[in-house]
Amino acid sequence: QSVLTQPPSASGTPGQRVTISCSGSSSNIGSNTVNWYQQFPGTAPKLLIYSNNQRPSGVPDRFSGSKSGTSASLAISGLQSEDEADYYCAAWDDSLNGWVFGGGTKLTVL
C-alpha cells in the first residue's frame, strides 16, 4: 500500500486534457514539494515535474503540476499518443523520514 494515493488508471483521447491526482497527508505533500515521474515500459523513470510545478529542461509545456493542501495534480493538455505511460508522484515524508511514492497511474491514450 503506497503512502501517496493515485488512481490506478486514467485515459483520454488525442488533444484532450487529462489530470492525475495524488493524495497525501500533512507529513508529506502538506509540508513538502511534490515531484512527478514518467515511466515507459522497460525503462527508468524520468523526472517530469519538480517542486510542485517546475518543468525540467526539455519537458513540453503541455505538462503542468499543481499542489493544494495535501493533494497534488499532474495535468497533460493536448494529449498525444506518446504520452501513454505510467506516472508517479513523490514527496519527502517528515514522519517516516524518507521519500514516499504514489502507486502509479497508467495513462492510456484512446
Partner 1 sequence: QLQLQESGPGLVKPSETLSLTCTVSGGSISSSSYYWGWLRQPPGKGLEWIGTIYYRGSTYYNPSLKSRVTISVDTSKNQFSLKLSSVTAADTAVYYCARRGILPSPFDPWGQGTLVTVSS
Question: Is 60 one of the binding residues for partner 1 (CB under 8 A)?
Answer: no
By three-state DSSP, how is residue 29 classified? Answer: coil
Report the Cα 47 to chain-centroid distance in Å: 10
**Does 24 help bind partner 1 (rule: CB under 8 A)?**
no
Angle in degrees, CA 65, 51, 7, rounded to 5: 45
Q: Smallest Cα–Cα separation from 63: which of 50, 97, 27, 95?
A: 50
Q: How far is the CB of 44 from partner 1 (least distance, A)?
A: 4
Q: Kindly state the smallest distance separating residue 57's Cβ from partner 1, in Å.
A: 11
Instruction: List the one residue from 47, 53, 62, 70 that touches partner 1 (CB under 8 A).
Output: 47
Measured from the CB of residue 15, what is the shortest distance to partner 1 in angstroms? 29
- What is the rounded distance in angstroms from the CA atom of residue 109 to the CA atom of residue 106? 10
Name residues contacting partner 1, limited to 80-109 (CB under 8 A).
88, 90, 92, 96-104
C-alpha cell at 65: 503540476
- Residue 45 engages partner 1 in binding (rule: CB under 8 A): yes
Phi, psi of 83 (to 5 degrees): -85, -5
Residues engaged in binding partner 1 (CB under 8 A): 2, 32-33, 35, 37, 43-47, 50, 56, 88, 90, 92, 96-104
